[in-house]
Amino acid sequence: MWTPVAEILVLVAVWVILLHECAAARKAEYDAVIVGGGLTGLSLAHQLKKAGIDKFVVCEGSSRLGGNVISRKMRGGFLIEQGPNSFQPVEEMLEVVSDLDLSLVYSNPKLPRFVYHGGKMHRLPSSLKDFLSPSFTLLSGWAKARLAIGMVGFRKGKPHTDDESVKGWFERNLGPCVYAKIVEPFVSGVYAGDASRLAMRSAFPRIAALEQGPGTAGILWGALARARQRKRAKREYQLPSPPPRGALASFEGGIEQLPRALAEKLGRKACRTGWRCVDIAKDNKGGDFVTTFRLPFGRRRRVTSKVVALALPAHRVSGPLRHLVPEASELSSIPHPFVATVALAYPDDAFRQPLRGFGNLIPRSEGLRHLGSIYASSLFPGRAPKGWQMLTNFVGGSHDPAAEKLSNRQLSRVVDRELRKTVLRDGYRGRGRVLGVKRWPSAIPQPGQGHEDLLSRVQAGVSRHVGLFVDGSWSSGISVGDRIKAGKLLAADVLNAVIRKRFERQ
């Protein structure tokens, strides 16, 4: 029962919290303030801690850390991913995994990928030889010949512009048929994007770099040179189970195990949630930064620090930087289309064939609304109970902005209906079990033509302020591995700036 004693206790508790916060505010002086508690911010914080810096704080605007990474255990023994489903176990990721004493789970690298075309599911070959084989019927003989001569560097032609589109690049190198049937759905799968509007060098820098030099240099030679380099590079991080070649990775409890473990290692004091950054300014002396946060219940908090690093999505950067770096407002022009992830489960006997594979991609020309499906229960163990299969499906993207208007129920109905065309057997009458629908109003940045110039202008503005850093999936790669790597690279810059500022004061 609510008594005057309870009332007094609550008042005392509130008073103690306020006193504690005021005291913290007065002496708040950090080496580094990290704004954004997604993978980039947490990876940066982890590397700073490893380097011996401990006067830093990660400030996350929402009530949870991890950003786009959301893994949920559902009733009935399902585990769904509502953001990323898997990642490549790149070197920097292996380092962090080893630091945190985590264990990765790997997909079987031989799991096939499929493209749905002409009402049929086509298994994608895993080697160039198999692509060219007569048993691969998705491509015509001419398309295969065009692919082969393009790979070795003939018929390449010249790019029409210096900042070529993804569509232009692949059509020039591999031919229009390979583009339409394989690359276009692949781009939908990675970016939920429109390949004719994405810039090749910004969207796929590693693939773009395979096209070496002028003349007949084909991407095959670039790929071979890279494979040789990779062989020479020795893995530094010894894990109990190193990744099999070509495997994708996750964790037994889903990808969110990673941000949780990072946050735990950083400690509660180093991570604040519910702290939304609204402004960054310089202090009176012009050396340190004063960062203002909006806290729950309308409270505000100002924090001073030598360095501020923003690890935010593009459209969240311009607000806090509107005074210091007006150029950052340009970042809001980077399109981020709506995407929904729809996790559906079906019993084993609902499928045409046993659900085995990484998943499928659907070219826009097929007239289906969903972009493709990841066969989540086939990819990693422990995603669905025995007798069930689970798929993560994607709807929306640059080609379908109207998808945002669909309710969650409509989104899952669309996917359930369309899966009958792609993977479910004819005559299956059951409804898919809806495990979760997650709406991403601004899912993935779409670096278009002129993106590199835009980044240079923003970086020029940022570098006017020693100790200010900005990074995100819009600038250094969208994949989970890219974000972990970006955090590590950023940490080196932050560390230098902290040391420089400490030194200047002595």
Ligand X SMILES: Cc1cc2nc3c(=O)[nH]c(=O)nc-3n(C[C@H](O)[C@H](O)[C@H](O)COP(=O)(O)OP(=O)(O)OC[C@H]3O[C@@H](n4cnc5c(N)ncnc54)[C@H](O)[C@@H]3O)c2cc1C
Provide the binding-site residues for ligand X, judged by CB under 6 A. 35-41, 59-62, 67-69, 83-87, 276-277, 311-313, 316, 320, 339, 341, 440, 443-444, 472-473, 478-480, 483
Identify which of 38, 32, 39 has the alpha carbon closest to the alpha carbon of residue 53.
Answer: 32
Nearer to ligand X, 57 or 478 (CB): 478
From CA 60, how far away is CA 63, in angstroms rounded?
7
CB nearer ligand X, residue 340 or residue 419:
340
Residues 151, 153, 156, 160, CA torsion sign = positive
Output the smallest distance, CB 69 to ligand X, in A: 5
Q: How far is the CB of 180 from ligand X (least distance, A)?
A: 24
Closest distance to ligand X from the beta carbon of 374 (Å): 8
Q: Which is nearer to ligand X, 124 or 255 (CB)?
A: 255
Closest CA to 124 of 357, 379, 390, 393: 357
* DSSP assignment of 242-269: PPPTT--EEETT-TTHHHHHHHHHH-GG
Closest CB 341 distance from ligand X, rounded Å: 5
Question: Which tokens belong to 15?
Answer: 């008073």
Minimal distance in Å, beta carbon 276 to ligand X?
4
How far from chain centre, in Å, is Cα 141? 37
C-beta separation of 199 from 334 below 8 A: no
Q: Which two tokens stand for residue 454?
A: 């835009």
DSSP lists the bridge partners of residue 396 as: 339
Task: Provide the minimum distance between the beta carbon of 47 and ligand X in the complex, in angstroms, as a whole number.
Answer: 14
Residue closer to ligand X by CB (options 151, 339) is: 339
Dihedral angle at the C-alpha atoms of 456, 462, 464, 468, nearest 10 degrees? Answer: -140
Structure-block tokens of residue 233? 């590079």
Pick 174 or 443: Cβ nearer ligand X: 443
Question: What's the closest the beta carbon of residue 177 comes to ligand X, in angstroms?
Answer: 27
Q: Which pairs with CB-CB distance under 8 Å and at least 24 residues apart come from 423-429?
A: 423/121, 423/351, 423/352, 423/355, 423/360, 423/373, 423/391, 424/346, 424/350, 424/351, 424/352, 425/349, 425/350, 425/351, 425/352, 426/352, 428/346, 428/350
Q: Compare residues 81 and 211 and give the one whose CB is closer to ligand X.
A: 81
Whichever of 98 and 476 has its CB closer to ligand X, that residue is 476
Closest CA to 184 of 150, 137, 138: 138
CA distance 288 to 306: 5
62 or 408: CB nearest ligand X: 62
Least distance from C-beta 345 to ligand X, angstroms? 19
